[in-house]
């Protein structure tokens, strides 16, 4: 079994990260009744004997003593990290795995990337190496950050290059929160485009998330909860937004519910690697199956169900509804409509009491309404994990490599150009050592090249699907 390390950068990254660790503990507590430190838990947690001072305290087997998250927390302001360290999760984090500063990045990618990058490079390397040493077999780094700010965006992407150089064999999965149109950070288009170039070049796989989509999903859930349909009640713990474990405070801050959705995404992504099932899917299989060309590594994700009705006996119809929902544009975590765009590849990761016949039935049913690229007409990757998430009897995570990400990127470029044409706020960036106008130009061309790749793929949609002539051989 392999281990993964989570690197959470910036305010957004750390807040999501916090939700993730809370949910991960809850999930493992539900599955692992006997309190034995097993391989599933070890994928994200170390077992430490807290009586031992220094580093020697790792316990590899036996009863759980004290769990420490395999995480590195980075923020250039102290507020968020301090809150985490004073909150109910304080014992889960190793105080040596933090890197903080006081001044913040001022929503400036250049400050995050160039200034703090240079300043903290050594420390970052040291913490990463340490966390890798604690792992038996490190497979993956999960980086969580936002694109629109300064720290998450700048320092978060600086990290990617460091990881690529230092640990070339380890996968880099990045969960990136993209700014929505009404973002209140004026320079978010600059930050996002500069960060995109780094994601294009140094990430193995990116899961873009949009705040607006998360917000819409929450509104939908609230509507369902409050509408109180006759004869059904929603199990409170089963909301994909809920963090109703004992660990968090009672009242929820506005972003909490949204962060929980992302945390659930990461848990479901890794479930088949951690728990048993009849058709396992490891993290390295995600990249293998969903990334046909190295640059096209942006995956649109959707999670269902968003809630479970209290009716325990789930008949087949509801199970099928779960599959249908996964493809609806309302369930996607970015604003995208995969059904009306072109699929390059699609993965369905199912958890819980679902068998291969259910999977096949639904694939057959949904296939006709989806358009797959000519050379991958049956491009499905599936996995079945026996352990359902907490509060559900089954769940589905769909990952799609689909041209529907294109509009998000095009809009971003649009917003960028509007600012850049007027040279608005540019001086904040150019005054940083190492930043020149060419950095901006390169970043835009990188994005434009990516958009062009998607355009070319989309162009094949109108062409008829023909079989290519085969090799002719002499018998």
Partner 1 sequence: MSIVTVQLGQCGNQIGFEVFDALYSDSHCPQGLCSKRENEVYQASCKERFFSEEENGVPIARAVLVDMEPKVINQTLSKAAQSGRWKYGQHSCFCQKQGSGNNWAYGYSVHGPRHEESIMNLIQNEVEKCDCLSGFFIIMSMAGGTGSGLGAFITQNLQDHYSNSLKMNQIIWPYGTGEVIVQNYNSILTLSHLYRSSDALLVHENDAVHKICAKLMNIKQISFSDINQVLAHQLGSVFQPTYSMEGSYHYRRNPLGIDWQVRPPLSGLPTLGKVSLNRELHFNTSIANLVILRGKDVHSADLGGFKDPALYTSWLAPVNAFNVWKTQRAFSKYEKSAALVSNSQFLLKPLDTIVGKAWNMFASKAYIHQYTKFGIEEEDFLDSFTLLEQVVASYCNL
The footprint of partner 1 (CB under 8 A) covers 1-2, 39, 136-137, 139, 276, 278-280, 282, 284-285, 287-294, 344-345, 355-358, 360, 363-364, 367, 374-382, 384, 467-468, 470-473, 475
Which of 240, 299 has the CB closer to partner 1?
Answer: 299
Contact 341, 402 (CB under 8 A): yes
DSSP 278: S
At its nearest, how many Å lie between partner 1 and the CB of residue 30?
A: 19
Distance from the Cα of residue 214 to its chain's centroid: 13
At its nearest, how many Å lie between partner 1 and the CB of residue 281?
A: 8
Which of 139, 192 has the CB closer to partner 1?
Answer: 139
Which of 381, 428 has the CB closer to partner 1?
Answer: 381
Helix-, strand-, coil-residue percentages of the chain, each rounded to 5: 50, 20, 35
Contact 290, 393 (CB under 8 A): no
At its nearest, how many Å lie between partner 1 and the CB of residue 2?
A: 6
Which of 355, 448 has the CB closer to partner 1?
Answer: 355
Which of 279, 310 has the CB closer to partner 1?
Answer: 279
Which of 192, 362 has the CB closer to partner 1?
Answer: 362
d(CA 203, CA 295) in angstroms, rounded, equals 9
**Phi-psi category of residue 352: left, alpha or beta, with phi > 0 → left and psi -120 to 50 → alpha:** left
d(CA 296, CA 401) in angstroms, rounded, equals 8
In angstroms, the Cα distances linking 157 to 69, 207, 341, 465 are 22, 14, 29, 39
Which of 236, 294 has the CB closer to partner 1?
Answer: 294
Contact 45, 5 (CB under 8 A): no
Beta-bridge mates of residue 207: 175
DSSP 335: S
At its nearest, how many Å lie between partner 1 and the CB of residue 349?
A: 13
At its nearest, how many Å lie between partner 1 and the CB of residue 437?
A: 33
In angstroms, the Cα distances linking 167 to 9, 202, 457 are 18, 12, 32
At its nearest, how many Å lie between partner 1 and the CB of residue 287?
A: 7
Which of 318, 381 has the CB closer to partner 1?
Answer: 381
Closest of 180, 179, 191 to residue 155, by C-alpha: 191
At its nearest, how many Å lie between partner 1 and the CB of residue 383?
A: 9
Which of 384, 451 has the CB closer to partner 1?
Answer: 384
At its nearest, how many Å lie between partner 1 and the CB of residue 224?
A: 28
- Structure token digits, residue 18: 């916090």
Which of 66, 284 has the CB closer to partner 1?
Answer: 284
- Burial (0-12, 13-18, 19+ Cβ within 10 Å), 366: middle
Helix (H), strand (E), coil (C) string for 34-94? CCECCHHHHCCEEEECCCCCCCCCECCCCECCCEEECEEEEECCCHHHHHHHHCCCHHHCC
In angstroms, the Cα distances linking 380 to 142, 296, 360, 396, 398 are 24, 17, 11, 14, 10
Which of 431, 455 has the CB closer to partner 1?
Answer: 455
Pairing of strands 342-352, 380-385: parallel
Contact 137, 4 (CB under 8 A): no
At its nearest, how many Å lie between partner 1 and the CB of residue 192?
A: 27
At its nearest, how many Å lie between partner 1 and the CB of residue 128?
A: 19
- The secondary structure element, H or E, covering residue 371 is strand 371-372
At its nearest, how many Å lie between partner 1 and the CB of residue 353?
A: 9
């Amino acid at each position: 079994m392999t281990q993964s390390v989570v690197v959470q950068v910036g305010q957004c990254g750390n807040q999501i990260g916090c939700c993730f660790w809370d949910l991960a503990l809850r999930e493992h507590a539900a599955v692992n009744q006997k309190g034995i430190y097993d391989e599933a838990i070890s994928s994200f947690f170390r077992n430490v004997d807290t009586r031992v001072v220094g580093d020697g305290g790792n316990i590899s087997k036996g009863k759980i003593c004290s769990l420490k998250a395999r995480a590195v927390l980075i923020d250039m302001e102290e507020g968020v990290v301090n809150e985490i360290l004073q909150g109910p999760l304080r014992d889960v984090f190793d105080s040596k795995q933090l890197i903080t500063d006081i001044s913040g990045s001022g929503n400036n990618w250049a400050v995050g990337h160039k200034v703090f990058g240079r300043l903290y490079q050594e420390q970052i390397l040291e913490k990463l190496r340490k966390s890798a040493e604690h792992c038996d077999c490190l497979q993956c780094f999960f980086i969580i950050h936002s694109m629109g700010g300064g720290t998450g965006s700048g320092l978060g992407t600086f990290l990617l290059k460091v990881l690529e150089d230092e640990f070339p064999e380890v996968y880099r999965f990045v969960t990136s929160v993209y700014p929505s149109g009404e973002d209140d950070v004026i320079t978010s288009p600059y930050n996002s485009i500069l960060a995109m170039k780094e994601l294009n070049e140094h990430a193995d796989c990116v899961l873009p998330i949009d705040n607006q989509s998360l917000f819409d999903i929450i509104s939908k859930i609230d509507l369902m909860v409050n509408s109180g349909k006759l004869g059904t009640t929603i199990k409170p713990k089963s909301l994909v937004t809920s963090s109703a474990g004992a660990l968090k405070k009672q009242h929820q801050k506005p972003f909490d519910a949204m962060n929980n959705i992302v945390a659930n995404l990461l848990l479901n992504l890794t479930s088949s690697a951690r728990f048993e099932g009849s058709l396992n899917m490891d993290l390295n299989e995600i990249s293998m199956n969903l990334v046909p060309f190295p640059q096209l590594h942006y995956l649109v994700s959707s999670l269902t169900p968003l809630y479970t009705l209290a009716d325990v006996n789930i008949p087949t119809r509801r199970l099928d509804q779960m599959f249908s929902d996964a493809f609806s544009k309302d369930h996607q975590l970015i604003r995208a409509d995969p059904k009306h765009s072109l699929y390059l590849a699609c993965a369905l990761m199912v958890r819980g009491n679902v068998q291969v016949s259910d999977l096949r039935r639904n694939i057959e049913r949904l296939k006709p309404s989806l358009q797959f690229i000519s050379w991958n007409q049956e491009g499905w990757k599936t996995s079945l994990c026996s352990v359902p998430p907490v509060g559900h009897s089954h769940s589905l995570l769909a990952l799609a490599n689909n041209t529907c990400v294109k509009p998000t990127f095009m809009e971003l470029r649009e917003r960028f150009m509007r600012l850049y044409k007027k040279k608005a706020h540019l001086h904040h960036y150019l005054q940083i050592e190492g930043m020149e106008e060419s950095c901006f130009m390169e970043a835009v061309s990188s994005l434009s090249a990516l958009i062009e790749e998607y355009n070319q793929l989309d162009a094949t949609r109108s062409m008829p699907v023909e079989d290519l002539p085969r090799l002719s051989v002499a018998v």
